[in-house]
Every structure is written in C-alpha cells, then in structure tokens.
Amino acid sequence: MRTTPDQHTLSRTVILGVAASDSHAVANHLISYSLRGLGFDVVNLGTCTSVEEFAQACEEHPHAEAVVIGSLNGHVHEDLRGLDRAKQSGRITCPVVVGGNLSVGSHKDSSSHDRLYAAGVDHILSEPAELPALLDALRASRLRPVAAGLAAS
C-alpha cells in the first residue's frame, strides 16, 4: 500500500510579522503578497508583533515552515528579547528568519548578526528576494525524512 504525505507535509505556511517596536508596514505587505503569489499560506501578524504573538501563532500553526520577522527601525535586538526562551520551551519550533535594518545607526558590523543568532534567530537575510530560496531549502530539509520513510514503505 502506497502512503502519501499528509496535508501538513504539503502545506507551505509561513508566519510573517514586523518586530514589536516597528510600525513599518509596506515591506511586510509586499513580502506577504509575493509569498502568496508563490503559493504560500501567509499568516501575516502585521506590525508591532511581540515574541509572544509569534509564539501564539506557532502554536496555532504547528506545521509552519518558518517565522519571518522584519525590522526597519533597527531595534530588532530589543524586540526579540525572549525569543530564545520561546524556542527552548517549544513554543516556537520552526526556523526564525530575520531581515531588514537590523541595527541603529549608519555603522554596521557583524556583531549585530552574532547577537541575533545568540538570541535564537536561525537565518538572517540581507534582501527580501532571498526568502523564497531559503524557504525552499528549509522545506527540502524538512521533507527529506518524509521521503525516506515513503521509500522504505
């Protein structure tokens, strides 16, 4: 008997939002529109989204491929306080992707990225156009065990 992947395996759900202290909505809407055009189910939490709201969305959508968080005001480090705890407690189980302006001021250095990784961020993107390829790579790595199990059936 041939087994087929369940609906959750086929789903392309992404949780999207803008960091807690940030009210910039344009890029958020453009990314949401673009992802929907590529076939993703986008749970768009909008602007000023707290870590708690991202965690609640992950609990409501446990098969989400990723949480995507944008920041334009540069305060994402402060806005993501508690992300590491939400991941360690199992409230956020999918990869967390961050992009945008990730620090305040004109001087940018790699310590900003290091601090975000330490805070629980899994991927940092410099351009929104990188997101679909990253999501495809995350999906491929998630489906490898499923495909191996089907081949063994």
Catalytic machinery residues: 22, 24
Burial pattern 51-77, b for ≥16 Cβ within 10 A else e, equals: beebbbbbeebebbbbbbbbbbebbbb
The position carrying tokens 């409501």 is 60
Closest CA to 116 of 132, 91, 99: 99
Q: If you ran DSSP here, which 8-state letter would residue 73 be given?
A: S
Residues, the chain, total?
153
Q: Is residue 96 within 8 Å of 123, Cβ to Cβ?
A: yes
Rounded CA-CA distance 87/92 in Å is: 5
